[in-house]
Every structure is written in C-alpha cells, then in structure tokens.
Amino acid sequence: MENDKRNLTFFGNGGTLFGIHLVNLFLGLITLGIYFFWARVKVRKYIWGQLEFEGDRLSYHGTGLETLKGWLKALVIFGIPYFVVSQLPRLMGLGRVFVIVGGLFSVLLIMVFIPMATVGSRRYRLSRTAWRGIRFSFQKVWREYVPIFLRGMILNLLTLGFYSPYYQARRDKFLIANSYVGNRNFEYDGNGDDLFGSYFLSLVLAIPTLFFSLFWYHVKRTRYVWDHTTFGDARFECMITFGGMFWLYLGNFLMVLFTIGFAYPWAQVRSINYLLTNLSLNGPVDLETIQQDAQSVNATGEELSSFLDLDFDLG
Amino acid sequence: MEEIWEGHFLDGKTAAQRKAMISPEPDGLKINLDNGDSLVWPYDEIRQAQGHFEGEPVRLERGEGITEVLIVGNTDFLTALRKQAGERAGRFHDPGFRRTRWWLTFYTAIATLAVCFIAYKWGIPALAKSMAAHVPVKWEQGLGKTELEQLAPPGNRLHNPRLDIAIKRIMARLIRPIPHCPYQFRVIVCDVPIVNAFALPGGYIVVFRGLLEETRTPEELAGVLAHEMQHVLKRHTTQRIIQDTSTGLLLSAMAGDVTGSMAFGMKSARTLALLEYSRGEEEEADREGMKLILAAGIDPQGMIRFFETLKKYDKMPQFLKYASTHPATDDRIEKLKEIVSAQTSPAKKGTIGGKIVLAKAPVKKERLIPEIAWPSLVKGLRSSK
C-alpha cells in the first residue's frame, strides 16, 4: 500500500441536526422522556451517517429498545440500590451513623460501577458501529478493567493525584488496544512519563492561570493519545492546538448562550469539524483485507455511563 | 426502459468495496458486480439504513448477522426503486417527503412550545399536588429534620423558658381544632435578627428573632404560626420539591439528558431554603390559617395587624426574605378581613356589586396568654441568650 494521509470527513449540517433535535424534544416531552432512548439513536444514526472515511460512511446499528432495556437493568442493579443507600437514610431521618454508612456504601457502589460503565458503554457503542459493513468491537469485559481502575484510584489518592498521568496511560492502553475493526485492533504506545511533566506544570500553574493550564493539559493529552494510537502500520496524527480549542469552545459557548441553547446543534457540528480536520491516519495500511468479526453486547454498560454522568469518546 | 445505477457493494465479510451496477426490477434489485457475479435482492428483505437526508448516500442492507450492503450515491435512485417496488415502496424513503418533513418539523416547534407552556403552567403543578399527597409523613419528617439541621443549626437556636411556654400554649390552641392531625408540630426559634419564618416538611416551623420582635401580641405570632402550619398541612413544601424536580426533568428532557435531571432533582431537594411558594399557595395558607385562628377562638385582628406591620418590609430590599416570599400586600390583608367577616357573621353575608360586605359584628375577644407580658418578653430576647 502507498504511504498516504487518510481523513475522516463530516458532511452533516447544523440545520438538519436542529430539526432532528426539535422533533426528538417534542416526542420526548409527550412520552414523558421515554422517547429519549430512540431520540439518541436518531441523532447517532445521523452523525455516524455523515462521517466518511475512504469512500464509505460509518453506520450506527443501535436501537432505542436495546438502550431502554439496558437503562432499566442499570436502574435495577445500580440506580435503586444507590438511591437506597445514599438518600433513604436521610429521607427516613435515621441517625447520622446510618447516613455515613449509607454514604460509604454508595461510594463503594460507584467504585464498582465506573469500570462497568466505562467498558460496557464502549463495548456497546463500538459493537453497534460499522464501516464498510465491518463491525467495530471492544474485546474485553469490565471485570478486567477493575484492577486497573482500583489500582489507579488508590495510587492517585496516595500520591495526591500525581499518579494520574500513569493511570490515564494504562487506562488508554486498555481501552484503545482492545478496540477492533473487524479482526484488526488498534494499538497504543503512549506512557505516563511523557505527560508527567506537562501534568505537573499544569497543576502548579492552575491557580495563577485561572485553571486554563488544566485545559491546556487536556488539549495536549488529547493530541498525545491520538498521536500514540496506531492501526496496523499507520499512525494517527492530531493537530488540535490550545488556541484552536480555546476559540472553538469560546465560540460555541457564546453561540449557545446568546441563542438560549438553540445553536447547540451548530456548536456540535463545529466541534466535530474542528477535531476531524485536525485528525488523520498516516502511513501504509491495507484496509481492504479487514475481515468481519462481529459480536454482540448488551446495552447495560452504555446506559450506566449516562446514569453516572460520565462522558466517553469514540476511540 | 430499464434504469441502471452505479453503486458499491459490500459483502459483510471483508472491507473490500466492489463496484456494482444496480437495476430495480419488479421482483427485486438486480445487482451486477465487477467480477461478473450477479445477485437479486427481493424487496421485502431489504432495509434502508441511510439516505434519508440531503447529501447522504442511499444505503441498503440485507441479511441478519453478516449483512450485505449496497450504496448508491444518487438520491434519484430511491424514486426509481420505489416505482419498481410497487406495494413494498413503503420500505424506502421518499425524497419527495423531505419538503413535508420540513413543514412537520416547523409545526413540531410550535407544538413543543405549546406543550412546554401547558406542562409548566398546569401539568406539573397538578402532578406535584397529587404526588405530594401520597408521600409518607415519616419521609417528610426525615427530610424536614435533615433540613432543619442545615437551616437552623442547634448553635443558632434561642432558648428562653418563658418564650417556650408561651409558644407551647399558642400551639396547643392552634392544634386543638385540627381533626386527626398527622403532624407533630415543633416550633424552633432562631437567634437571627431577620423578619422571617418558614415551614419545613413534616411539621417543623422556624421563626427568627427579628420576626418575634415585630409582634406586639401573642395573637400576632399565632397568625404567623397558623399560616406556616397550613404550609405543612397542605404539604406545600413537599409539593414544591416535587414540582422543582419535575421542572428539572422537563428541562433536562429538552437538553436530551434523562439522568442529569435525577441529579438535578436531588440537588433541588437540598436547596429547600431557596424554595418559593406560588401566589396560590400563599393565599391558601392565609385563608386556611385565618380559618384556623377563628376555629381556635383567637382574635383574628392579631393576624391582620401583623400583616399590616409586614407591609413596611415591602419597601425594603429583597434580601429580607419574609418580605419577598410573603409580600404583605393590601390585597392579602383585604382577603383576610373578608374571611373574618364571612365567618363571624354568616347570617349577614351578602354581596353588593360582587363585593362582600364587611360585617361589623364584633369577634369574641378573649386574650391569648394574658399572664405573660408579651412586649417585654420579645424585646428582651436579644439579651436573654
């Protein structure tokens, strides 16, 4: 294969997205929110369908019913127990001891469910995404992430957060290197050492720079993660900059603010376009030989993620 | 005339794209691949995955598990496909529908505004009212107790034996006329110089020293307490929490995030202190409070007089909360007077030109706790701690 640059291009526009959001809003209101699950599928189907890579659009195959079932499952195995231990002692006016013990249990629950949500949502989202008819997948289960997560949390605590870049590197490697397109996986060769200096600097400068240094680190880390992600012999290259991201976010913030939220779809499109025009896959890779290797995953994890209010990116 | 369309074929096994020549025929899509293979897709096995929007290629899929895919860039292909598919045309998107869809979206926008307005104005308050009625009293007490610790911490409370006795006596009088009262009322006096009082779910009533100092008789305080008791009995606070949570749900549903709204709900339950009653709820507490005063045989002029005292706080800055949430308007005082006249002289009740005639009949005047010198008691609170 020839050595070249490949880009993911977005063809969507804010107007169409706005129309989709609007109809979703209406149906969501009259179904008291139940339509939310179908609404999200509609938005994803549109966005995925507007993303083109090497002459083919991505496609999204999730369904509203799947995610609704997943959400209900999450509600039963996590939401209700969480409510019981974290809120009920307070509501029932039980003593301070019960409130504290309940609080501890709720933290424990969260500690188990963050790994579950992280991996589950990634499994679901990837398995419902296809390019050239080939499904993506994530080939590890949440239990395998628990040791990485707990070790990371404990060391972060003991080192007052300075372990964070090392934890992030291990997590990114776990999440990226186990992500597949058909039978071929991505690889990650980043490490904590490379980012430690920047992380340290951003923490030290956090207060004098009014926390902009943390945003600077976030941009740097995003770029670093992409730059250390490979697929076959090809490597991603990310060229987002602090300045670019700053103006993008500021612009989006002002747009959304001055239109009391109505410009949100346009802001969404701006963000996607900014990232994609600064991202490419460089180097030789024989895409034609990728083989199908589909597997199914239930939707629970996906729903847990939004239940816990965590945010995930498509790797 | 047979139409032939150019497109791509994916076999679902590899990522290799193959050129395909496609022609819609009555019994199915005829597909000729560049390697000479030829396929026929029956219409009722085809799903359309993409191609519903301007500029989006038409993507057709066939089969479960390993799925074959056909992609055609030209949207006109859909029109030709629908023509040949006959009664199965409904499986495929009609590009002509896009204009209609635009108008539907537009009307949806209008309908959305209408639904939001109706829900906010009537739907949510009605829902909150019926839900609040079913919350167990025990939960209300638990919530009220936790809130009390936050809003009136024990270190801030004022303990004056004479005042405690006086309040206990007033409360005993006020509770007597309530049949089967599910709440155990507790009045907490806070040593803070603001003119305010508020009720918490489950029967807790917090009165600030500033308010006590403004009362000239125990009857005036009884008026305030009766008003707050009605907020508890009518479950206004509980209702408010449910209402704020539901509004949060509505707003989050608009932002497309169901789970965030749960967090919002929990949060709003924690900011009880910032809750404001609606005008209707205040009027209900006034009305029912005054009825309670009358039923307890307390001089209603006390409550009216205290509302008149509060009028001066109307002109004060908003941070004086009693003034902002309980605006003591002439209108409200007028309504209190009407209740008094209607209740004390039912025989004389009548209207002239729609206005209730004020009765002149004297109200039974038996002084509440006459043995306690009220003004000196409340003026002395500051030094008593």
Choose the final residue of a domain: B70, B95, B120: B95
d(CA B203, CA A93): 13
Tell me, yes or no, whether B26 and B116 share the same domain.
Answer: no
Please determine, for residue A302, whether its predicted confidence score (pLDDT) is greater than 70. Answer: no
Give the pLDDT mean for A250-268. Answer: 89
Tell me, yes or no, whether B79 and B21 share the same domain.
Answer: yes
| Entry field: residues in chain A | 315
Tell me, yes or no, whether B288 and B197 share the same domain.
Answer: yes
d(CA B245, CA B251): 10
Please determine, for residue A314, whether its predicted confidence score (pLDDT) is greater than 50. Answer: no
- Chain A residue numbers touching B250 (CB-CB < 8 A): 29
Please determine, for residue B30, whether its predicted confidence score (pLDDT) is greater than 70. Answer: yes
ipTM, two decimals: 0.84
Tell me, yes or no, whether B65 and B205 share the same domain.
Answer: no
Supply φ then ψ for residue A56, to 5 degrees. Answer: -140, 140
Which CATH number goes with the domain that contains B47?
2.30.29.30
Tell me, yes or no, whether B175 and B247 share the same domain.
Answer: yes
- Top-ranked range on mean pLDDT: pick from A48-52, A90-94, B265-269, B278-282: A48-52
Interface contact flag, A287 B253, Cβ < 8 Å:
no
Report the percent of chain A where pLDDT is more than 70. Answer: 92
Question: How many domains, in total, are found in chain B?
Answer: 3
Query: CA nearest B61 in A: which residue?
Result: A133
Interface contact flag, B253 A291, Cβ < 8 Å:
no
Alpha helices in chain B (DSSP H): 76-85, 97-118, 124-132, 137-151, 161-175, 209-214, 218-233, 236-255, 258-270, 279-295, 301-314, 321-325, 330-344, 374-379, 381-384
Please determine, for residue B325, whether its predicted confidence score (pLDDT) is greater than 80. Answer: no
Tell me, yes or no, whether B40 and B121 share the same domain.
Answer: no
Supply φ then ψ for residue B352, to 5 degrees. Answer: -125, 120
Tell me, yes or no, whether B129 and B11 share the same domain.
Answer: no
Domain that holds residue B375: 136-384
Q: Which of A91, A183, A262, A310 to mutate to test the interface with B (most CBs of B within 10 A)?
A: A91
Choose the final residue of a domain: B85, B111, B134: B134
pLDDT digits (tens, 9 = 90+) for A206-224: 999 999 999 999 999 999 9
Tell me, yes or no, whether B124 and B147 share the same domain.
Answer: no
Tell me, yes or no, whether B315 and B338 share the same domain.
Answer: yes
pLDDT digits (tens, 9 = 90+) for B130-179: 988 888 888 888 888 888 888 888 888 888 888 999 999 999 999 998 88
Count the alpha carbons within 13 Å of B33 in the hemisphere toward its beta carbon.
Answer: 14
- CA of B16 vs chain A CAs: smallest distance (Å): 4
Choose the final residue of a domain: B68, B95, B122: B95
* Strand ranges across the sheet with B38-41: B38-41, B28-33, B18-25, B5-10, B68-72, B58-62, B46-50
Tell me, yes or no, whether B343 and B378 share the same domain.
Answer: yes
Please determine, for residue B273, whether its predicted confidence score (pLDDT) is greater than 90. Answer: no
Tell me, yes or no, whether B33 and B65 share the same domain.
Answer: yes
Chain A to chain B Cβ contacts (< 8 Å): 133
d(CA A248, CA A242): 10
Tell me, yes or no, whether B231 and B105 share the same domain.
Answer: no
Supply φ then ψ for residue A262, to 5 degrees. Answer: -65, -25
pLDDT digits (tens, 9 = 90+) for B65-88: 788 999 999 999 999 999 888 888
pLDDT confidence bin for B314, thresholds 50/70/90: low
